[in-house]
C-alpha cells in the first residue's frame, strides 16, 4: 500500500473518527498549559470543599485529613516545579485530582468530587485567584500613586506652560500636571476596590448547574475561603463571568490613563520641550543614531493600552450568545484575564520606576513660559477694576495684537500704550507679568496655587491609605 493510500485511509475512515479524542482536539481543548497558574487556588478550594464534605458526613475525619495532606503535597509539587503533567491531564482540576488519588489512593481521593463539578470549581478558582492578584495589583497602583504624590509635593516650585490643544495656554505648576494624572489613578484605585465585592461571590456548592444534593454547608465554604457572599442561584453561579469582564474593563481604563500620561511625558522629554528627562534605566538607544535616547518605556505603556482593551473586547465577544450555565466557551476567560493581569502588573511597576527616576528641568519649563500666556491675567486685572469680563477679554486681546505688531512681548508695552487700550490700566499692571503671582492667584479648590497643591497631596494620601 502506498503511503498516500495509507494517509487517505487514516484521514477518512481511520483514527479521526474512532471515538478516541483527536490529538489536535485534545490540544485545542486542553487548558492546563495556562490554567496551571491557578494551582494554589484550586488546592485551596478543594481543601475547603473537603471540610464541607466532612460536615455533611460524606468523608470521615481521617479521610478529610488524608485529602488535605495529599492536596498540600500536590501544591508543593507545583510550587517546586516537580509536578509531573500527564498527557491526558485536561486542566488544573483534573490534573490535581488525578495526582491526589495517586498520593492518597483512589478510595479516598475519589470522594473529593462528590457534589461538585468542574463548573462550580473553575468559577471558584478564578475568583480566588483574581482576588489575590487584585490585592497585589492594588499595591502596585498605590506604589505608583505614592511616587507621583511625593514628587508633586517636592517639586512644587517648578512652573511650566499648561497646554490645551497642545498650544501654550496658561502657567501651571508641574506638580499640578502630575497630580492631574494621579487623579485618574485615584479613581482607578476606587474602582478596583469597588469591584472586590462582586468578585467575592462564592460559586462552590452550585455543582454542575442544579446545586448539590448533600446539603453542603456553603456558609462554611464561604468562611473557609474568605468570600464576602454566596452565589444565590446555582445556574448563574456557574455561568457568571461578569467579574472578569469588569476587571478587564477596569484594566483597560487604567491603561488608557497610563497611556495619556505617557504621551505627555514623551512630548515633554523631546528636545523641543526638554521639560523632563528619562533615566537611562527606562530609555534605550538607537541602533544607528548614537545621539538618540528613546522613551521606549513610555511608548510601551502607551501601546499596551491597546492590548488590554483588545483582551476585554475579545472576551466580551466570546461571552455573547453563550447559552445558560456552563459552556466550554467560558474557558476562553482565562488567557485574556491572565494576560491583562500580567500586563497591568508590569505596566504599573514600570510606570512607578519611570516617574521615580525621571528628572525635571525647571529652567526649560520657565523658558517656555511667554508673557502672552498672561493675557487672561490682564483680563482678570481689569475685572478687578470693575470692567465686565467680556469687555476685558477684548481689551486684553488687543494688547496681544499690539505687542505682536510691534514684535515685542505684552509686558514691554509702554504705560502710554496701556492707557490707550483702556483708561483703567495703572502702573500696577506690571505686577501681572509674574508667573508665580499668576499661579498663586488661582487658589480656589482645585487650582494650581501652592496651598491647593498641598491640599491635593493630603487628599490623595488619604485616598491611597484607606
Ligand atoms: N477547563 C474548564 C474551564 O476552564 C473547566 C471546566 C470544565 N467543565 C466542563 N464541564 N467541561 O472552563
Name the residue range of residue 70's domain: 31-109
Which CATH number fits the domain that encloses residue 41?
A: 1.10.275.10
Measured between alpha carbons, how far is 122 from 93 in angstroms, rounded to an integer? 8
The reply to whether 77 and 151 lie within a common domain is no
Answer whether residue 189 shows pLDDT above 90: yes
The reply to whether 166 and 256 lie within a common domain is yes
The reply to whether 104 and 223 lie within a common domain is no
The reply to whether 88 and 153 lie within a common domain is no
In a domain, 459, yes or no: no
The reply to whether 98 and 142 lie within a common domain is no
Compute the average pLDDT of residues 96-116.
Answer: 98
In a domain, 233, yes or no: yes
What tens digit of pLDDT does each residue of 138-148 get? 999 999 999 99
The reply to whether 268 and 157 lie within a common domain is yes
The reply to whether 197 and 235 lie within a common domain is yes
Question: Is the CB–ligand 1 distance for residue 129 below 6 Å?
Answer: no
The reply to whether 240 and 105 lie within a common domain is no
In a domain, 6, yes or no: no
In a domain, 388, yes or no: yes
CA of 365 to the centre of ligand 1 (A): 57
Please name the residues in contact with 21: beta carbons below 8 A apart, sequence gap of 6 or more. 29
The reply to whether 268 and 124 lie within a common domain is yes
User: Band of the pLDDT at 21, cuts 50, 70, 90?
Assistant: confident
The pTM of this model reads 0.93
286 among known catalytic residues = yes
| Nearest by Cα to 133 from 143, 141, 122 | 141
The reply to whether 231 and 293 lie within a common domain is yes
Q: Which of 313, 335, 367 is a domain's end point? A: 367
Answer whether residue 306 shows pLDDT above 90: yes
pLDDT value at residue 1:
38
Which CATH number fits the domain that encloses residue 414?
A: 1.10.40.30
Please name the residues in contact with 244: beta carbons below 8 A apart, sequence gap of 6 or more. 126, 130, 315, 333, 336, 337
In a domain, 14, yes or no: no
Classify burial at 171, counting beta carbons within 10 Å of its beta carbon; exposed 0-12, middle 13-18, buried 19 or more: buried
The reply to whether 208 and 328 lie within a common domain is yes
Answer whether residue 10 shows pLDDT above 60: no
Ligand 1, atom 7: nearest CA belongs to which residue? 118
Answer whether residue 9 shows pLDDT above 60: no
State the CB neighbour count (10 A cutoff) for residue 15: 12
Compute the average pLDDT of residues 201-218.
Answer: 98
Q: Which of 83, 109, 135 is a domain's end point? A: 109
In a domain, 450, yes or no: no
pLDDT value at residue 2:
41
In a domain, 186, yes or no: yes
In a domain, 457, yes or no: no
CA of 171 to the centre of ligand 1 (A): 57
Q: Which of 342, 367, 392 is a domain's end point? A: 367
Number of structural domains the chain divides into: 3
Determine how β-strand 159-164 pairs with β-strand 359-360: unpaired
What tens digit of pLDDT does each residue of 51-64 get? 999 999 999 999 99
**pLDDT mean across residues, the chain:** 94
Q: Among residues of the chain, what percentage have pLDDT more than 70?
A: 96
Question: Is the CB–ligand 1 distance for residue 330 below 6 Å?
Answer: yes
Choose which residue among 329, 331, 334 to substitute to test ligand 1 binding: the one with the highest number of ligand atoms within 8 A of its C-beta: 331
What tens digit of pLDDT does each residue of 59-103 get? 999 999 999 999 999 999 999 999 999 998 999 999 999 999 999
Amino acid at each position: 500500500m502506498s503511503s498516500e493510500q495509507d494517509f487517505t485511509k487514516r484521514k477518512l475512515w481511520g483514527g479521526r473518527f474512532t471515538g478516541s479524542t483527536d490529538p489536535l482536539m485534545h490540544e485545542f481543548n486542553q487548558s492546563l498549559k495556562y490554567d496551571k497558574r491557578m494551582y494554589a487556588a484550586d488546592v485551596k478550594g478543594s481543601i475547603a470543599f473537603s471540610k464541607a464534605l466532612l460536615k455533611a458526613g460524606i468523608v470521615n475525619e481521617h479521610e478529610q485529613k488524608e485529602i488535605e495532606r495529599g492536596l498540600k503535597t500536590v501544591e508543593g509539587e507545583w510550587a517546586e516545579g516537580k509536578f509531573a503533567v500527564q498527557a491526558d491531564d485536561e486542566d488544573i482540576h483534573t490534573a490535581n485530582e488525578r495526582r491526589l488519588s495517586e498520593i492518597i489512593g483512589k478510595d479516598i481521593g475519589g470522594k473529593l468530587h462528590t457534589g461538585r463539578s468542574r463548573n462550580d470549581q473553575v468559577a471558584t478558582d478564578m475568583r480566588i485567584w483574581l482576588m489575590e492578584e487584585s490585592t497585589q495589583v492594588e499595591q502596585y497602583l498605590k506604589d505608583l500613586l505614592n511616587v507621583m504624590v511625593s514628587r508633586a509635593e517636592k517639586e512644587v516650585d517648578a512652573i511650566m506652560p499648561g497646554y490645551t490643544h497642545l498650544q501654550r495656554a496658561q502657567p501651571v505648576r508641574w506638580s499640578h500636571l502630575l497630580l492631574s494624572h494621579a487623579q485618574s489613578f485615584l479613581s482607578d484605585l476606587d474602582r478596583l476596590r469597588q469591584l472586590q465585592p462582586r468578585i467575592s461571590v462564592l460559586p462552590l456548592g452550585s455543582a454542575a448547574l442544579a446545586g448539590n444534593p448533600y446539603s453542603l454547608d456553603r456558609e462554611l465554604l464561604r468562611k473557609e475561603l474568605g468570600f464576602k457572599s454566596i452565589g444565590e442561584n446555582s445556574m448563574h453561579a456557574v455561568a457568571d463571568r461578569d467579574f472578569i469582564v469588569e476587571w478587564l474593563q477596569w484594566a483597560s481604563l487604567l491603561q488608557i490613563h497610563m497611556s495619556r500620561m505617557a504621551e505627555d511625558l514623551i512630548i515633554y522629554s523631546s528636545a523641543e520641550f526638554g521639560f523632563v528627562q528619562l533615566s537611562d534605566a527606562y530609555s534605550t538607544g538607537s541602533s544607528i543614531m548614537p545621539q538618540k535616547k528613546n522613551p521606549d518605556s513610555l511608548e510601551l505603556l502607551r501601546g499596551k493600552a491597546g492590548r488590554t482593551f483588545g483582551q476585554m473586547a475579545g472576551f466580551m465577544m466570546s461571552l455573547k450568545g453563550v447559552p445558560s450555565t456552563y459552556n466550554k466557551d467560558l474557558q476562553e476567560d482565562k488567557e485574556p484575564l491572565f494576560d491583562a493581569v500580567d500586563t497591568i502588573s508590569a505596566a504599573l511597576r514600570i510606570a512607578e520606576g519611570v516617574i521615580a527616576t525621571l528628572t525635571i528641568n525647571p529652567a526649560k519649563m520657565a523658558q517656555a513660559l511667554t508673557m502672552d500666556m498672561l493675557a487672561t491675567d490682564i483680563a482678570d486685572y481689569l475685572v478687578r477694576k470693575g470692567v465686565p469680563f467680556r469687555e476685558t477679554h477684548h481689551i486684553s486681546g488687543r494688547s496681544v495684537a499690539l505687542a505682536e505688531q510691534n514684535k515685542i512681548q505684552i509686558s514691554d508695552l509702554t504705560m502710554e500704550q496701556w492707557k490707550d487700550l483702556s483708561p483703567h490700566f495703572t502702573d500696577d499692571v506690571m505686577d501681572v507679568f509674574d508667573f508665580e503671582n499668576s499661579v498663586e492667584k488661582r487658589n480656589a479648590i482645585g487650582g494650581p496655587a501652592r496651598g491647593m497643591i498641598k491640599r491635593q497631596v493630603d487628599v490623595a494620601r488619604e485616598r491611597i491609605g484607606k
